[in-house]
Amino acid sequence: MAGPIQNILVYIDGSEESVTAAEYAVCLAKSTGAELSALYVVNTRALNDLVKSRIFIASEEQEYQEDLENDAQKYLDHVKELAHKKAQPIELYQKNGAIHSEIKHLVEDLDIDLLIIGELSKIQSRRDEFYNEVERAMRSVPCSVLIAKDEDLVWSHYESLA
Amino acid sequence: MSILDLVTEDCIKVPLESTRKNDLLHEMIDLLKEAGKISDPDAIYQVVRAREDQGSTGLGEGIAIPHAKTDAVTDITLAIGISPQGIDFESLDGEDAKVFFMILAPPDKSGLHIEALSEVARLTRSAAFMRTLIHSETPAEVVELFQE
């Protein structure tokens, strides 16, 4: 009988915490034999909001979108390298849109049974609870969610993989 | 990232002394220099001014968000200034601006820069928040308001 974890998605946003999540995801995929995918969302929803509220002019929107797409490529490449170093196959996805909804859509499209995310930032005000995009995703996805914590311990597990 | 990570008393000035746009930009940049957040105020002024020359960041309804991407900072940096009497910031609605959020970011932190700008934009859409912010009399009151 197959185990409960067969299809893992790790969400990457360029933060140290999300890189730790990727290392954890590689460890878990190796030990369970699960398939592994990684997602980076270019937050075009926020970009559009900044243009609508007239904070950004059109040239800024284009410039920042290019920056974000370059970031996406850079961080997805990094995660690919983390996986390949441990001979773990990985599928990479870059999506544009609102973070929480793109995570949810990919979880559903790929029939993911475990979403791995990095440690969430500390809640410092009521607004933080309302607007944390990854927390919204965590609450709305239909699968189990794992929050990877303890950067040093996760790195040590990752390093010890054959 | 939470905007509260960026809001510190030493980067808030209430009330601002300037009465003209350029002076205000210098005043807020000097505030960041005094707080040890930046080391090259002239470079910051040049990029912020260049952005203003492409179109005022005075959004109307008393709010302005001067911002720039620059190598002259190493992390996302925020200064908040309040001018109860208002300053002509060439805002879209022609009204004086009273609350100023200056946000600077290095080129390699565009994602966080967008997050910070988005959060400030969201806050400024709250009439109650802005009303209370404009009437804040000390940096401590401003920080407290953000913590609610």
pLDDT single digits (tens) A6-33: 999 999 998 899 999 999 999 999 999 9
Q: From A121, which residue of chain B is nearest by alpha-carbon distance?
A: B1
Cα→Cα distances B92→A61, A108, B48, B64, Å: 19, 43, 18, 10
Measured between CA atoms, the residue of chain A closest to residue B58 is A55
Q: How confident is the model at residue A1 (pLDDT cuts 50, 70, 90)?
A: low
Summarize the confidence of residues B38-45 as an average pLDDT.
95
Residue B96 per-residue DSSP state? P
The residues, ordered by sequence, that sit 6+ positions from B131 with a Cβ below 8 Å of its Cβ are: none
Mean pLDDT, residues B10-30: 97
Q: What is the pLDDT of residue A126?
A: 62
From chain A, pick out residues whose CB is under 8 angstroms from the CB of B121: 49-50, 53, 55
Q: What is the mean pLDDT of chain A?
A: 92
The predicted pLDDT at position A20 comes to: 97
Q: Which domains does chain B have, with CATH numbers?
A: 3-147 (3.40.930.10)
Tell the burial category of A3 from Cβ atoms under 10 Å away from its Cβ (0-12, 13-18, 19+).
exposed
B113 annotated active-site: no
**Torsion sign over Cα B137, B140, B142, B148:** negative
Token digits for A128? 């933080």
Mean pLDDT of A84-96: 97
Q: What is the pLDDT of residue A132?
A: 77
Chain B residue numbers touching A59 (CB-CB < 8 A): 54
- Test mutation, B118, B124, B143, chain A, max A CBs within 10 A: B118
**Helices A58-85 and A16-32: angle between axes, nearest 10 degrees:** 40
**Over the stretch B14-23, which tens digit does the pLDDT of each residue have?**
999 999 999 9
Q: For B118-145, how does the pLDDT look when each residue is reduced to its tens digit (9 = 90+)?
A: 888 888 888 999 999 999 999 999 999 9
Domains of chain A are: 7-160 (3.40.50.620)
What mean pLDDT is predicted for residues B56-81?
Answer: 94
Contacts of A19 (CB under 8 A, 6+ apart): A12, A75, A78, A79, A82, A118
